[in-house]
Amino acid sequence: MFGLKGILLASAAGIVVASGVQAADLPVKAKPVEYVRVCSIYGAGFWYVPGTDTCLKVGSFIREQVEWNAGNGGVPIGFGSNDEAAAGRNTRSDTSQLSFRTRTEISIDLRTQTEYGVLRSYLAGGFEATANSGNGPNNDQVYFHRGFIQFAGLTAGRIRSYFDIIGLSPYSYEKGSRINGDTGSNGLWGIAYTAQFGNGLSATLSFEDGGSTSQGNNSGTNRSRGRFVTNLSAPNQFGLGTISYDNEGWKMPDVIGALRVDQSWGYAAITAALHDASGGYYTAPAGDACGANAFCQNLGHPGDALGWAVSGGFTLNDVFGLRGDQIGGEVTYAQGAAGYVTMATGPWQLYGSGNSVALGWITDGVFATGTPIELTTVWGFTAFAQHFWNPKWRTSLYGGRVEVDYNATAKGFICGPAGVGGAVATLNGVALTKVSNCNPDYSWWQIGSRTQWNPHPDLDIGVDVLFSHLNSAFAGTATLAANGARPGGVYALEGQDEVSVFFRIQRNFLP
């Protein structure tokens, strides 16, 4: 009896222990998982970062562009670019008519609601590789064109200039900055404040990069707004591709004011800019302690010079009652601030058949030893129209004209005491003498049309055909030294025409 009782007690104890073990092995209820939620406040593509009240959108695109008679992502050969100047000689050894560019970009947009409004940060950059139409392929490179913070009306970082009104990139595959000064493709550094007055009316005061580089001497084609004042006292200073800009170091930002109205019908704006166009030092004569032709401190310098620019423009939506159709235009005038009219501030050099060539260059101003700076006048206009044939097909027509004018005093510096028939320093390192018409003024105009197919809303496939005309500086005749494979001799300096074609395929994701 005792043995049976002991067995029963032991069995009960075992069951209790086993039950405890099994209870310990039961799964514990997990904490609720916070799934990603859609953020609909700012439009499509935003979602809440888990655990925060911040909304995030990640966008991207990848593009392949094929160019004929152009390079560097949409620059016609010979048209205002250091990279295209040699190609503008149009010889077998200097010029490749075909060019490719692959470009990919990623953007990150973060937005948070605060008691002062939206706190936003935005970053965009990517990679590109170019088979250039100049002298062989460029190296692959990383680029960065946006990185800014916006808060309570303030914008600070790498931005698009608030002076800009119209950008042609939505309507063209060519770099529309040939015929306007839009900074959209590269951006620039700035700090701005925008006041909103209601009904779409706003005003902005912006302090922006006026073209700063080492010691203020800004050359090349990647300047933001340019700072290129030329000292004509030194030989070979006024040349294409070999200009040694003699600027004072950067000491003040460009000051931009903009008044804009945005409505359902489109937008309109007027903008103005002040730009530092101060020069460096005067040039030493032969036998001076500084050395002949040196920029020398003990010789002094010209007084500070302030350039300026003004612009007005508009874009109209759904014109003539046609959904999606747009037209727009912009006019810009500048003295001593050429980069606000065009970003094509490199050398212009386009040879035709036989002994025929068109040349030109832009400076903010010129000076000689003992003189003030003479500011250069540059003005131009841009216009466009776009029509949707249906949701998948669209065609745009765009164009513009830019003129560069030097005043009488500046022309005297350039032409020298000999005047007509005298020497005019060098062009692209090539001596230009016996000029029949010593006049550095020149101009250019462009007109193009792009047709684009969108078989899917995120896929662009299109062709852009562009006609460009360059009216030469010093129109007439001159004797040129040999220039690459181009022989020296008497050349006709006259207008040159060029047709460029661009093909693009681009995949977009939440742009």
**Which of 2-11, 359-368, 398-407, 459-468 is least confident?**
2-11
pLDDT confidence of residue 228: 74
Question: Domain for residue 156, yes or no?
Answer: yes
Is the pLDDT confidence value at 454 over 80? yes
What's the mean pLDDT in 5-13? 48
Which residue in the block uniquely carries the two structure tokens 């200009």? Answer: 243
Domain count, the chain: 1
**Which of 39-48, 409-418, 492-501 is least confident?**
409-418
For residue range 310-342, what is the model confidence (pLDDT) as tens digits? 999 999 999 988 999 999 999 999 999 999 999
Find, among 159, 220, 146, 219, the residue nearest to 189 by Cα. 159
Question: Domain for residue 355, yes or no?
Answer: yes
**Phi and psi angles of residue 338, each rounded to the nearest 5 degrees, phi first:** -60, -30
- Per the model's pLDDT, the better-predicted residue between 360 and 255 turns out to be 255
Is the pLDDT confidence value at 194 over 90? yes
What's the mean pLDDT in 242-256? 76
3-state DSSP call for residue 65?
A: strand
What's the mean pLDDT in 176-196? 91
pLDDT confidence of residue 102: 93
What's the mean pLDDT in 29-50? 82
pLDDT confidence of residue 470: 96
Q: What is the DSSP string of 176-214?
A: GGGTS---TTT-EEEEEEEEEEETTEEEEEEEE-----G
Residue 244 confidence class, pLDDT cut points 50, 70, 90: low
- Per the model's pLDDT, the better-predicted residue between 128 and 312 turns out to be 312
Cα–Cα distance between 385 and 393 in angstroms, integer?
14
Residue 412 confidence class, pLDDT cut points 50, 70, 90: confident
Question: Domain for residue 379, yes or no?
Answer: yes
Using CB atoms within 10 Å of the CB of residue 25, give its burial: 0 to 12 exposed, 13 to 18 middle, 19+ buried.
exposed
Q: Determine contact, residues 284/293, Cβ cutoff 8 Å.
A: yes
Question: Domain for residue 43, yes or no?
Answer: no
Task: Based on DSSP, count helices (H) and strands (E) in the chain, helices before strands.
Answer: 3, 28
pLDDT confidence of residue 221: 40
pLDDT confidence of residue 141: 85
Domain that holds residue 237: 54-509
Share of the chain above pLDDT 70, in %: 80
Cα–Cα distance between 109 and 122 in angstroms, integer?
5
Q: Determine contact, residues 452/459, Cβ cutoff 8 Å.
A: no
Cα–Cα distance between 186 and 192 in angstroms, integer?
18
Q: Which helix (H) or strand (E) holds 61?
A: strand 54-68
pLDDT confidence of residue 225: 64
- Per the model's pLDDT, the better-predicted residue between 467 and 79 turns out to be 467
Retrieve residue 61's tokens. Answer: 């695109």
Question: Domain for residue 20, yes or no?
Answer: no
Q: What is the DSSP string of 137-175?
A: PPPPEEEEEEEEEEETTEEEEEE--TT----STTT-SS-
pLDDT confidence of residue 53: 93
- Per the model's pLDDT, the better-predicted residue between 271 and 134 turns out to be 271
What's the mean pLDDT in 136-157? 86
pLDDT confidence of residue 31: 57
Beta-bridge partners for 205? 193, 257
What's the mean pLDDT in 274-293? 74
Residue 215 confidence class, pLDDT cut points 50, 70, 90: very low
Is the pLDDT confidence value at 133 over 80? no
Question: Domain for residue 473, yes or no?
Answer: yes
Question: Domain for residue 294, yes or no?
Answer: yes
Residue 243 confidence class, pLDDT cut points 50, 70, 90: very low
Is the pLDDT confidence value at 394 over 50? yes
Is the pLDDT confidence value at 240 over 60? no
Round the average pLDDT of the chain to a whole number and report it.
Answer: 84
pLDDT confidence of residue 80: 82
Cα–Cα distance between 492 and 130 in angstroms, integer?
34
- Report the CATH number at residue 92: 2.40.160.10
pLDDT confidence of residue 218: 40
Question: Domain for residue 430, yes or no?
Answer: yes
Candidate ranges 225-234, 297-306, 354-363; pick with highest mean pLDDT: 354-363
Residue 434 confidence class, pLDDT cut points 50, 70, 90: confident
